[in-house]
Structure 1
């Protein structure tokens, strides 16, 4: 009799678990933030803009203090927060995700894939530019800083379990204090004193990545900021860009009539700048609030996963040195409107060409089941190392 009662109870409990599981999956799917993935695409597009303006020679060859000079620097400053956005997104989504070493290995294999493949291409196309140094850098992309962002991210990645544990267990007051201190120490003070006090290399370092990850984690954990309207957030971004650009304009026009004092004319123009940081934060919040239509979801689903490879392809050291270097300075011969249209066309074309190239790489990796094999290896040798971190805490 007892067994007769127990079996239905177990069956009912099983049905409840399955039902709850389905509801949980449905909730996760419903809560998936397509806006954040859309920001990955937009941020990488902005990164391409930065590289085309810089390596392309437009910034260097624009006549100092001319109208074109001011316009191209406005574009540069408007796109400057893109790199910060990527790191902020890592914290925003990272505190809710499962930490796996295989994720980094998969990303490293992608970096290695393009690092070696592009070097091989140049070896056949122009053998004279590929020597021992280039091969060493290609095979050891992280230690040789073939891509500075990936090297800095590696320094962050190893600390993510510790950061996630702190962000998850700290009170709002504690976390807010750490965020504010981080902003003051690593952003405000270095900008005020014009010195790299804590060796953040103006954002080109794991230290700045860690600061951004914590800020992103704070945004991901607490949703009070979502009360801000999209118009308000867009206004904050515009004001930050305007203040940064005007600061450079005023300094160059009224304090330094000739170029040369880079330390002064780049005031507020760095990854660690308070205005650039706030602009990035505003964009993360703004995009997280977007209502994405089904049509755009298909676009995002196609291009967001390959967005990081756009950086790996077009900013390989050999590509930027022998293909991109000063190639766009000729655009300065056109009037401002034509210059901007041509520049935009080049950036869009480059972005989508690199994206389509990586879709081939993505297809190869899926066929070889690279991700699945890495996850199996991790489970086999490390089991579930970080799965119980919440319970043990």
Structure 2
């Protein structure tokens, strides 16, 4: 069994806060609002850049825990973990649908019902769908990487990085994934596996500088593209997709920074299994827009001096509530399972 690393659990928790932050600014229309104050617009723009690499960090974390030594492929073991993941996705897809309908947070439709019952076929969560495929392929990918020499693995990774990050961004994206699909997921997972495989020591100061430097380049490019006459804003969008070389560099710097931290926490180990539930709860299609419009009422803070405080408290509250709900549901499920076994 792989030993938990609290420093990476801390990174996952912070990355989930970054994902919620992206939804806070993206789903509520703040970034396109015309009545946003200059200070709030600046803060929102900076936070969107700073938090954009979170998804890449999750992929890299998964790849980092690939086995170093080759293991025999167990279809039963692979299916067991994949089914457990799908069961969690399905449960929250249906649970949040029922919850939002009962609380009248969202309106009912047959399409929403079908999407809730079939979350993968209906692409309820794009990230979870990709991750489910990765879970199925994980033992095969792991066996392949173990059989490759360091040189062969380096060529394999370089090829992935070129077609995912260079050709797709600076050339014509023939894959049409924009960093949301399988190719980019595999690339970042292999990059995470490479960090463990080569184990190159990088001081946390240098790792932090890589992250900060990539952030600054993105922010400065935004300013320059606005100043250049006739320059289409699409150039900025290309730099902000998940497979942008700058976002990959940000994720690499952030991952290596947390890898260097010395953290040991039983609390982080206990809640780590519930971090994924934060995503499943707040990014549900029936919850996503309504959460920010009807519950947190983000639009009321577009011109407020308290928008930053509202953002911070909203993100913390969502993470705390979602993790608490997931842990309580798991305890209730375990209790019911034991009760059923006793009465059999």
Q: TM > 0.5 between the two? A: yes
- Larger C-alpha radius of gyration, 1 or 2? 1
Q: Which sections of structure 1, spanning at least 5 residues, go unmatched?
A: 1-24, 374-393
- The whole-number CA distance in structure 2 between the counterparts of 1:220 and 1:197 is 31
Task: Show CA shifts across 1:109-138 (max 9, x none).
Answer: 111111111111233233971121111111
- The whole-number CA distance in structure 2 between the counterparts of 1:252 and 1:342 is 29
Question: Which of 282, 297, 301 is the aligned partner of 2:253?
Answer: 282
- Whether contact under 8 Å (2:160, 2:187) holds in the other structure is yes
Q: Aligned to 1:267, what secondary structure does the other structure show?
A: helix
Q: Which residue of 2 aligns with 1:110?
A: 88
- The whole-number CA distance in structure 1 between the counterparts of 2:16 and 2:325 is 15
- Whether contact under 8 Å (2:30, 2:36) holds in the other structure is no
The structure-2 alpha-carbon separation of the partners of 1:128 and 1:192, relative to structure 1 and needing over 3 Å to count, comes to closer
- The whole-number CA distance in structure 1 between the counterparts of 2:106 and 2:257 is 48
- The whole-number CA distance in structure 2 between the counterparts of 1:163 and 1:321 is 36
1:255 and 2:233 matched: no
Question: Which of 334, 358, 365 is the aligned partner of 2:304?
Answer: 334
Q: Which residue of 1 aligns with 2:74?
A: none
Q: Which moved more, 1:240-249 or 1:76-85?
A: 240-249
The structure-2 alpha-carbon separation of the partners of 1:63 and 1:280, relative to structure 1 and needing over 3 Å to count, comes to farther
- The whole-number CA distance in structure 2 between the counterparts of 1:333 and 1:74 is 17
Q: Which residue of 2 aligns with 1:119?
A: 97
The structure-2 alpha-carbon separation of the partners of 1:309 and 1:62, relative to structure 1 and needing over 3 Å to count, comes to farther
- The whole-number CA distance in structure 1 between the counterparts of 2:173 and 2:293 is 28
Question: Which of 42, 46, 50 is the aligned partner of 1:70?
Answer: 42
Question: Which of 18, 27, 47 is the aligned partner of 2:19?
Answer: 47
The structure-2 alpha-carbon separation of the partners of 1:147 and 1:280, relative to structure 1 and needing over 3 Å to count, comes to same
Question: Which of 235, 244, 251 is the aligned partner of 2:218?
Answer: 244
What is the number of equivalent residue pairs in this alignment? 331
Considering only aligned residues, what root-mean-square deviation do their CA atoms show, in Å? 2.5
- How much does 1:188 deviate? 1.6
- The whole-number CA distance in structure 1 between the counterparts of 2:311 and 2:37 is 20
- The whole-number CA distance in structure 2 between the counterparts of 1:323 and 1:344 is 15
